[in-house]
Amino acid sequence: MKKTAILLLMVLLSVSMLFAAGSSEDAQVADSTGYKDTIIIATGADQNYMDGQMNNTNDVFLRACYSQLVRRALDGSIEGDLAESWSVGEDGVTWTFNLRHGVKFHNGKELTSKDVVASYDRLLNNPAVRYNSLAKGYIEDVYAVDDYTVCLVTPGPVASLLANLTHRSNLILDADYIEKYGMDLGLTVESVNGTGPYRLVSWDRDQEMVLEAFPDYFRGEVPTKNIDILIVTDANARDVALETGQVDITIVNTSEIPRLQETPGIQVKMFEGIGAHGLQFNCANEYMKDPRVRQAINYAIDKQLIIDVLYSDIGERACTAPVNPNVWGYYDFGVVAQDVEKAKALLAEAGYPDGFDITIMCNPGYNKATETCEMIVSMLADVGINASIEVVDDATFNSSMGGRTYPGENFPWAMFFMGFGAGTADCDEGLRRIWTTSPDGNNNNNYGWYSNAEVDRLLAEAMGELDEERRLELYKEAQQILYIDDPAAIFTNDRYNVWTMSDKVEGFEVNVNNVIFWDNLRCRN
């Protein structure tokens, strides 16, 4: 309680200072329009990079500053962003994108194909870039035809190319900034220069980020001049800040949603997403190497009970596949039902009739992660597995996920709570990025070192399969393995994107990636 009070006080002080710093001219503008010129958003975590090629935090505020060739629209379709049109050549591998003319970076420089080529050169040819291996899976080369025409060449026919290009790693950077800042790009305000609706004007890491509307944004200037983002890790503090009017928009503790839905002055918005939660296996662990052990754990857990107890308050559903139903290629296998006797038989077959001891890593930053792990520990005890939970902070979690080493080295946990999401809303990225085997076994996003040769084959074939029905069948086969036959994780709940806000907020909309569309976002005085 003391910690919460302190955090809330920090929020109140930050907001008070912000209002105190506002000019009387700004106040007059806000009064004359009837709308605030600053919307305050409280979020639970800061961005690690303001650079899409390195960011693994989320897309929410990153895309306020940057644009890309194509993007996911509000209805989930793919629409042009920096590209106004595109086509694929007769060879099936050369994609030509025609850029909008007159697009400006935040420093006033005009965007040309030189910036697009430089962005992809960095993504494809710098192994230090986080999503390097992902991009090389679907792009082989990039070159400019003229100042406003650029070609991407794929290694073979890639059915999901446009979907893949919506991933955050495809946000276009300024060629001059790539040369000037190198791998430090996106770590400071000065190194961020995009073409999005907002420009970054200040950043006090883990405290506050301030965005200012870019008047020359190519889609037209957005209606709210400033977005002030406060980093408030404590969910209770965010709840109170919203209810007391100190912030306009926030992501709150989901257990509070039923109460907030009945609270005057508050609106709760729930959007379909592409994310899921679950417990991922560390397949380098001495026990988890055996598929029978992973199958046993899968059958030992009552997923529906977890949903009923922990997630029913916001209507989230139990997983029925390794990907969310909003991901293209999803197949409904149903919820894997609990079968304690089958779990015990599989453990005995694997040579562990009396079970074993393991540790589960849990980052409470994931919604109800600790409570989920506690329920799972109890269920595992019923089949003889003695599991303990190690709760870690963000720094420990991020360091354990990053900097892949030889499989399993310095990674003591047998299982770990994780979020799964197809950033492109397509099974190619949603499965291939997370579950395929890398040549050295250190896939940057295959955090549990999962490896199944048949999954690798199916996903590779699906990437180049242009027949839609055949591609769906390939994804179904791969998901059958990942979900049931050789489980890569215990997939628990499909996620909603839930936001709470003052009832004075208007025009708040997000797509399936939980990316805010700023075009009509306003807040009445």
Alpha-carbon gap, residue 487 to 483, rounded angstroms: 5
Q: Domain-by-domain residue ranges, the chain?
A: 1-65+197-248+504-525, 67-195, 273-495
233-290 pLDDT, tens digit per residue, is 888 899 999 999 999 999 877 778 888 999 999 999 999 899 999 999 999 999 999 9
Alpha-carbon gap, residue 254 to 426, rounded angstroms: 27
Alpha-carbon gap, residue 458 to 473, rounded angstroms: 10
What's the mean pLDDT in 51-62? 89
pLDDT score for 382: 97
Q: In 3D, which of 159, 27, 204 has the Cα closest to residue 427?
A: 159
Asked whether 192 and 186 are in contact (CB, 8 A), the reply is yes
What's the mean pLDDT in 468-475? 97
pLDDT score for 16: 47
487-502 pLDDT, tens digit per residue, is 999 999 998 888 999 9
Residue 20's φ and ψ, nearest 5 degrees, are -65, -30
Superfamily of domain 67-195: Dipeptide-binding Protein; Domain 1 (3.90.76.10)
Architecture of domain 1-65+197-248+504-525: 3-Layer(aba) Sandwich (3.40)
Alpha-carbon gap, residue 458 to 454, rounded angstroms: 6
Look-up of token digits 């997923």: 303
Does position 452 have pLDDT exceeding 70, yes or no? yes
Does position 305 have pLDDT exceeding 90, yes or no? yes
Asked whether 189 and 203 are in contact (CB, 8 A), the reply is yes
How much is the mean pLDDT over the chain? 91
The single-letter code of the amino acid at 371 is E
pLDDT score for 315: 82
Alpha-carbon gap, residue 38 to 271, rounded angstroms: 24
Q: Do domains 67-195 and 273-495 have the same CATH topology?
A: no
Distances (CA, A) of 296 to 126, 139, 378, 408, 412: 41, 39, 15, 21, 21
The single-letter DSSP state of residue 109 is P
pLDDT score for 26: 43
Beta-ladder partners of 281: 415
Beta-ladder partners of 141: 153
What's the mean pLDDT in 503-507? 98
Axis-axis angle for helices 468-480, 453-464 (nearest 10): 160
pTM: 0.82
4-13, 183-192, 325-334, 431-440: which range is least confident on average? 4-13
Axis-axis angle for helices 369-381, 291-300 (nearest 10): 100
4-51 pLDDT, tens digit per residue, is 444 445 545 544 444 344 333 443 344 567 999 999 999 988 999 999
95-148 pLDDT, tens digit per residue, is 999 999 999 999 999 999 999 999 999 999 999 998 898 898 899 999 999 999
What's the mean pLDDT in 446-466? 94
Render the burial of 257-272: b for 16+ CB within 10 Å, e for the rest: beebeeeeebbbeeee
428-440 pLDDT, tens digit per residue, is 989 988 999 976 6
138-173 pLDDT, tens digit per residue, is 999 999 999 999 999 999 999 999 999 999 999 999
Does position 359 have pLDDT exceeding 70, yes or no? yes
100: Cβ–Cβ under 8 A, 6 or more apart, which residues?
A: 82, 83, 84, 148, 218
Alpha-carbon gap, residue 397 to 364, rounded angstroms: 10
Does position 306 have pLDDT exceeding 60, yes or no? yes
Architecture of domain 273-495: Roll (3.10)
The single-letter DSSP state of residue 467 is -
pLDDT score for 399: 80
**pLDDT > 70: what percent of the chain?**
92
